[in-house]
Structure 1
Amino acid sequence: MKKICLLLADGFEAVEAAVFTDVMGWNQFEGDGNTELITAGTKDTLKCTWNFTVTPEMHIRDINVDEFDALAIPGGFEEAGFYKDAFSEDFLDVIKKFDKQGKIIASICVAALPIGKSGVLNGRNATTYNLNNKKRQKQLSDFSANVIADQSIVIDNNIITSYNPSTAFDVAFTLLELLTSKENTTNIKRLMGFIK
């Protein structure tokens, strides 16, 4: 069984978290059954960008990286408090521990920024939110990442980054393929109606 930690900060975008829960859930029931997703949060109750409230299954302080095969991080909005949580020492420490063990870290949109702030993208290829004057891509560059501005998904070794919410399902399917197989992922895409 491959276990994925879905790491949530206040102000995360629900749709970006939901793609991971749905793709891994579909795989659990309709695919090879070899994925389990556990939600972990910076607080006992989190508020999404648009005021949707979520209760994670575990607190960030209780994460044992050895028990997981991958980390998934949805992005969020500054106005909703995303960076306050996502740039916290606890959040950055989890990212560093997953990277140190070479485990997959999959992020969507601005979730690349805490990965960059943690230092693990220093000199590595990555991308992040690509619109609105490319402010977030400059911020990622300031964290010493080599920003690939015109590529929707960038994979550098064990880290997956993407450039806006439209990439969310593709990131989740990429993670599923890395954890299971191309054939299994193609089957899940077909069952979910993404391919015929």
Structure 2
Amino acid sequence: MKKGLIFILIIVILGIVGVFVYQSLTKEKEGAPPGEKLTMGKNLEGKKIVVILAFKDFRDEEYFVPKEILEKAGAEIKTASNKTGTAIGADGGEVNVGLLVSEINLADFDAVVFIGGPGCLENLDNNNSYKVVQDTVSQNKVLASICISPTILAKAGVLQGKKATVWTSPMDKSAVKILEDNGAIYEDKSVVVDGKIITGNGPEASKEFGEAIIEALK
């Protein structure tokens, strides 16, 4: 009797294990979930994007994470800054910069992306950046901005009546005030998309930010 019960128990266990193995193999055949397919497919083949960062103290994750996502999707990335040479991130990341913001020719690009970080405003909050922002919008191209850099878009006058987000903290709401003072509709979200303008609120939003750029360029 006991041997019979043990035999039945073994059969049941083997059956359960078999179901799990089958499900695992089925998932592998089906491929990655839709969200992962978005970043792995070559949706942006032939698209060119210029990423603008501070020459000193840009936010590393906000540059490297979206860049990897966009390149995996097939986009060609160029990096611009207020100086040429080796830009250094706040966490020590290094980026070779061969293009000045003032030299950007928007005819060469499908999208413009601004990166934030503690050095963002000191390096990029100026007329050269404002002109790039304004020309990007006037030419109906994708404009993306993350962390503190949406304040540059606001000062350039392109967020009037637009939904947007920006970096903020319980102790510092100044960036939100800049957006609202310049006509933006602030939303407390990680990423906000309004037409062809994409804004992200900080490094934690880097992956979602990159994926939103892909969607806008598809």
* Range into which the TM-score falls when normalised by the shorter chain: 0.7 to 0.9
Q: What is the aligned counterpart of 1:82 among 106, 113, 120?
A: 120
- Percent identity over the alignment is 29
Mapped pair 1:20 → 2:60:
no
* Counterpart for residue 41 of structure 1: 81
TM-superposed deviation, 1:62: 2.1
Q: 2: distance between equivalents of 1:52 and 1:17?
A: 10
- Counterpart contact for 2:62–2:202, Cα < 8 Å: no
The gaps in structure 1 that reach 5 residues or longer are 29-34, 181-196
Q: 2: distance between equivalents of 1:136 and 1:100?
A: 24
Which residue type is aligned with residue 52 of structure 2? L
Q: Kindly report which structure 2 residues correspond to 1:76-115, keeping only aligned pairs within 5 A, or say none.
A: 76-77=117-118, 81-115=119-153
* Counterpart for residue 159 of structure 1: 197
Which residue type is aligned with residue 153 of structure 1? V
Single out whichever of 138-147 and 58-67 deviates more from structure 2.
138-147
* Counterpart for residue 185 of structure 2: 146
Mapped pair 1:120 → 2:142:
no
Q: 1: distance between equivalents of 2:120 and 2:47?
A: 27
* Counterpart for residue 169 of structure 1: 207
TM-superposed deviation, 1:175: 0.8
* Counterpart for residue 137 of structure 1: 176
Which residue type is aligned with residue 24 of structure 1? L
TM-score by structure 1 length? Answer: 0.80
Q: 1: distance between equivalents of 2:158 and 2:103?
A: 22
TM-score by structure 2 length? Answer: 0.72
